[in-house]
């Protein structure tokens, strides 16, 4: 990588100078500009490969294992001796990334403008995005320097991370004199930084550019900090995170996923952003996407399906062409809500997808009759919103008219599949048995246009705060259904916030599904035995294992919360009419 090339040149030059040298002498020998020299020097100090010395102008020396003392001059080291290993990537100045995330949450918890887990994730996200963008631009500038070219930065000098979030002295130390704080920092962020970033949307050459995404993100969210001192603390913590290596991004992705999970556990509308990862991984194992296929989620939320699919496919990439395909031509998403859009982009970036193909739009406003072959995908995986209602003008985009959001999404997903394409869709279990005209017509459409081969019945409590039971529909486009294999998942315990679904819970399902095997929890139904008029697909275990357990208080309270939320939305609409 470019950064590694600059680091190597720095270390080689230092070794040629006897393992230690003054900053002025070393920089002169390298012929680097101040910004490049101090950035590389700071990175090598953080990685434990060099240490700073004293004296006029400062000095640096190579580090050795343990003692961190200057190493002998080049050639003095014994033959075969091993060089000092770098410090773990998970640390910055002795603090783990996990601790930094915890400290950021502590700052946000004390901030009056942030009151929920959703606020915590939103505010962390915009700061993380700007730090990531700055690291990305630094890496691209370093690469251009090695090639003798010039890199045109996206962010102008006045608004770069190092100019306002983490200004530094010529020696690389944090510059407290130039760092804005208090009311000055709040005023700068709200009146200067965010308007500047929002303007990228209008200035961008195309909608698939990084510039356009910057404008989209900062046009939809706002800084909620009321205290500039809290914001200063948070910025300095975020500055302690690095995005230079895939290992660092991988660790940060796990920490970010934990924040998204906390949003899901927060109840109310938090659950719409998070699908349990063990369930997603099981769905991927059944669908088996391959490199070269396009994977789509039109209700992306936090982009969990695409991130897990990337993790599944990356080890299968055999060469540079495969990895480029995964980066640019595999994962596609759409998301309506502003916060979810931002989280989806950040989550995909942290998983290793540098320029996510996420479009900020309401998927359901597209008329499915207008979908062309190039708009179709080999794989669709999604968990569309539960219980939403769409306006009549949106319903006109679909042949089966219904206000139920999930039913409209299912029509969109069926239409978005290529012939032979595979899908795995989470939906409320009432879809299997509802007797309204739309539900019956949609089940008939699914059975006739697709081969619905598997129905996975999930236990209550799978989705925290949702208050509904769900099933997963697995189907292939292009041939009608002949036989449906059902599996009723029973983890042997009540699922809840402190007892969530895990990968072991899904093991039997994946084992039996591979051969559509019958068991106490699984059975098959010939489509000829499905009621022709109603197309009822209710989960009825013929093996006598259908008795429902009593719901736990946690599940009952979650259902109450969901009902309260739905009632609140109705009341808000009524108030708007007054």
Give the model confidence (pLDDT) of 192-219 as tens digits: 999 999 999 999 888 778 888 899 889 8
The last residue of one of the domains, among 46, 73, 100, is 73
Residues 150 and 29 in one domain: no
Which letter, b or e, does each residue of 144-171 get, where b requires 16 or more Cβ atoms within 10 Å of its Cβ? Answer: ebeeeeeeeeebeeeebbbbbbbbbeee
Has residue 113 got a pLDDT over 70? yes
pLDDT at 81: 38
Percentage of residues in the chain having pLDDT higher than 70: 84
* Residue 264 lies inside a defined structural domain of this protein: no
Could you tell me the two tokens for 235?
């910025």
* Residue 145 lies inside a defined structural domain of this protein: yes
pLDDT at 368: 95
Lowest mean pLDDT among 139-143, 270-274, 449-453, 480-484: 270-274
Residues 98 and 68 in one domain: no
pLDDT at 67: 31
Cα(109)–Cα(70) distance, integer angstroms: 43
pLDDT at 414: 97
Has residue 157 got a pLDDT over 80? yes
Domain CATH number, residue 21: 1.10.10.10
pLDDT at 559: 65
Residues 103 and 67 in one domain: no
pLDDT at 230: 94
Instruction: Check residue 567 and report its DSSP letter.
Output: H
pLDDT at 265: 58
pLDDT at 468: 80
554: pLDDT confidence band, cut at 50, 70 and 90? low
Q: What is the mean pLDDT of the chain?
A: 84
**Mean pLDDT to the nearest integer, 85-108:** 68
Residues 462 and 513 in one domain: yes
Domain CATH number, residue 286: 3.40.50.150
544: pLDDT confidence band, cut at 50, 70 and 90? low
pLDDT at 77: 37
Domain CATH number, residue 223: 1.20.1260.30
405: pLDDT confidence band, cut at 50, 70 and 90? very high
558: pLDDT confidence band, cut at 50, 70 and 90? low
Has residue 567 got a pLDDT over 60? yes
Give the model confidence (pLDDT) of 409-418 as tens digits: 999 999 999 9
Percentage of residues in the chain having pLDDT higher than 90: 51
Domain membership of residue 45 as a residue range: 2-73
83: pLDDT confidence band, cut at 50, 70 and 90? very low
Domain count within the chain: 3
**Mean pLDDT to the nearest integer, 331-340:** 92
Q: What is the pTM of this model?
A: 0.74
**Mean pLDDT to the nearest integer, 257-286:** 77
**Pairing, β 91-92 against β 50-53:** unpaired
64: pLDDT confidence band, cut at 50, 70 and 90? low
Residues 227 and 275 in one domain: no
Has residue 326 got a pLDDT over 80? yes
Closest by Cα among 524, 521, 426, 537 to 471: 426
The residue ranking higher by pLDDT, 416 or 355, is 416
What is the torsional sign of CA 463, 221, 99, 135? positive
**Mean pLDDT to the nearest integer, 16-42:** 79
Cα(138)–Cα(140) distance, integer angstroms: 6
The last residue of one of the domains, among 12, 42, 73, is 73
What is the torsional sign of CA 202, 208, 211, 214? positive
* Residue 556 lies inside a defined structural domain of this protein: no
Cα(47)–Cα(68) distance, integer angstroms: 12
**Mean pLDDT to the nearest integer, 111-124:** 87
The residue ranking higher by pLDDT, 389 or 431, is 431
**Mean pLDDT to the nearest integer, 550-558:** 61
Token pair 């660790």 is found at 251
* Residue 364 lies inside a defined structural domain of this protein: yes
393: pLDDT confidence band, cut at 50, 70 and 90? very high
577: pLDDT confidence band, cut at 50, 70 and 90? low
């Amino acid at each position: 990588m470019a950064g590694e090339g600059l680091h190597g040149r720095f270390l080689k030059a230092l070794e040629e100078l006897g393992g230690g040298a003054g900053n002025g002498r070393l920089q002169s020998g390298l012929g680097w500009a101040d910004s490049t020299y101090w950035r590389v020097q700071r990175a090598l100090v953080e990685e434990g490969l060099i240490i700073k010395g004293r004296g006029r102008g400062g000095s640096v020396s190579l580090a050795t294992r343990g003692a961190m003392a200057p190493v002998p001059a080049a050639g003095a080291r014994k033959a075969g001796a091993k060089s000092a290993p770098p410090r773990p990537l998970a640390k910055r100045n002795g603090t783990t990334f996990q601790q930094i995330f915890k400290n950021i949450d502590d700052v946000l918890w004390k901030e009056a403008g942030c009151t929920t887990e959703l606020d915590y994730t939103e505010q962390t996200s915009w700061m993380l995005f700007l730090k990531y963008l700055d690291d990305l631009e630094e890496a691209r500038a370093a690469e251009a320097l090695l090639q003798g070219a010039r890199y045109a930065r996206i962010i102008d000098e006045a608004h770069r991370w190092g100019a306002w979030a983490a200004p530094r002295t010529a020696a690389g130390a944090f510059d407290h004199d130039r760092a804005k704080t208090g009311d000055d920092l709040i005023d700068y962020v709200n009146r200067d930084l965010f308007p500047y970033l929002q303007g990228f949307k209008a200035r961008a050459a195309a909608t698939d550019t990084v510039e356009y995404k910057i404008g989209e993100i900062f046009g939809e969210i706002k800084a909620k900090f009321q205290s500039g001192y809290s914001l200063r603390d948070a910025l300095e913590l975020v500055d302690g995170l690095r995005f230079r290596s895939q290992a660092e991004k991988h660790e940060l992705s796990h920490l970010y996923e934990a924040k998204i999970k906390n949003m899901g556990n927060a109840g109310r509308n938090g659950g719409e952003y998070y699908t349990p990862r063990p369930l997603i991984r099981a769905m991927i194992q059944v669908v088996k996407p391959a490199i070269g296929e396009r994977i789509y989620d039109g209700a992306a939320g936090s982009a969990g399906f695409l991130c897990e699919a990337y993790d599944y496919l990356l080890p299968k990439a055999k060469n540079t062409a495969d990895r480029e395909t995964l980066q640019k031509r595999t994962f596609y998403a759409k998301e309506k809500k502003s916060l979810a859009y931002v989280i989806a982009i950040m989550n995909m970036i942290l998983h290793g997808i540098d320029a996510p193909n996420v479009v900020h739009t309401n998927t359901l406003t597209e008329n499915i009759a207008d979908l062309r072959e190039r708009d179709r995908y080999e794989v669709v995986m999604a968990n569309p919103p539960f219980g939403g209602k769409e306006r009549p003008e949106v319903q006109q985009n679909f042949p089966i008219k219904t206000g139920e959001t999930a039913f409209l999404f299912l029509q969109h997903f069926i239409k978005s599949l290529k012939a032979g394409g595979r899908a795995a869709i989470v939906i409320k279990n009432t879809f299997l048995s509802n007797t309204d005209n739309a539900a019956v017509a949609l089940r008939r459409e699914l059975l006739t246009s697709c081969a619905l081969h598997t129905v996975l019945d999930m236990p209550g409590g799978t989705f925290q705060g949702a208050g509904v039971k769900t099933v997963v529909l697995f189907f292939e486009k292009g041939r009608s259904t002949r036989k449906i294999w059902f599996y009723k998942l029973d983890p042997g315990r009540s699922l809840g916030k402190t007892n969530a679904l895990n990968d072991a819970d899904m093991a039997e399902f994946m084992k039996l599904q591979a051969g559509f095997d019958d068991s106490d929890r699984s059975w098959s139904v010939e489509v000829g035995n499905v009621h022709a008029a109603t197309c009822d697909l209710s989960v009825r275990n013929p093996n006598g294992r259908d008795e429902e357990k009593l719901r736990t208080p946690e599940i009952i309270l979650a259902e109450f919360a969901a009902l309260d939320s739905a009632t609140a939305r109705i009341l808000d609409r009524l108030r708007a009419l007054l």
